[in-house]
Chains A and B, each alone.
Chain A
């Protein structure tokens, strides 16, 4: 069964360092999302892609966060420099661009701890 792949699963870094997360969506899925989930809360959207184009990055802290999906397939989310408040789970999700199910498929997430 096809799955959304994310790496690394866990990342510990010191504040002011750079970190990067990678996501490989399910093959053929045009839409890709990065969410941030603080412990004990629901995920919140950081950025949404349609193919290689950014559809919504209104909640992305652009002074330190960047995201790209250059060929419309896999995606990278970068934080530079990391701050203590960035400690969270970063979830990637993908979905087909159709109305059949409306479902998004999630990866296992990348848990970031900033010391």
Chain B
């Protein structure tokens, strides 16, 4: 079974600084997606960034980028120029590439609570 591990329950960053959130996963599949989702307090979960396993290039979305190390099964999120609005729970998630059956499910890590200090 696939697992996702986030080893940092809480992180803190100064406004305008850079922070990296860690995630490791375990799978025997070769085709899959990895995601970082953001969940602000009392708000819905929204997608931050997505990485397809078959793509070697690391995904980037504005201030958010990932370091995808497929062999090491590592998928970290870097937030540059942190803003107060970045404060939230961040979840790393895995989804198998075969959408048939239960492999379409998202498997989440336990999350990292990010605080941004002004």
Contact = CB atoms under 8 A, between A and B. Distances in A.
Contacts of A70: none
B28 interface: no
B91 A103 contact: no
Interface string B52-64: 1000000000000
A109 B50 contact: no
B69 interface: no
A106 B46 contact: yes
Contacts of A4: 44
Interface stretch (B11-19, B70-78, B80-88, B98-106): B98-106
Interface stretch (A11-19, A20-28, A93-101): A93-101
B44 A42 contact: no
Interface residues of A, number: 28
Interface in B91-118: 91, 93, 95, 97, 99, 101-102, 104-111
Nearest to B93: A42
A104 interface: yes
B108 A42 contact: yes
Contacts of B106: 33, 43, 45, 93, 104
A44 to B, nearest CB: 7
B24 to A, nearest CB: 14
Contact of B44 (A33, A50, A97, A108): A108
A87 interface: no
A50 B104 CA distance: 10
A41 B50 contact: no
Question: Considering residues A58, A91, A104, which has the most beta carbons from chain B within 10 angstroms of its beta carbon?
Answer: A104
Q: Nearest 8 pairs between A and B by C-beta?
A: A42-B108, A102-B33, A56-B102, A106-B45, A108-B44, A42-B110, A45-B105, A106-B44
Interface of A: 4, 31, 33, 40-45, 48, 50, 55-56, 58, 91, 93, 95, 97-99, 101-104, 106-109
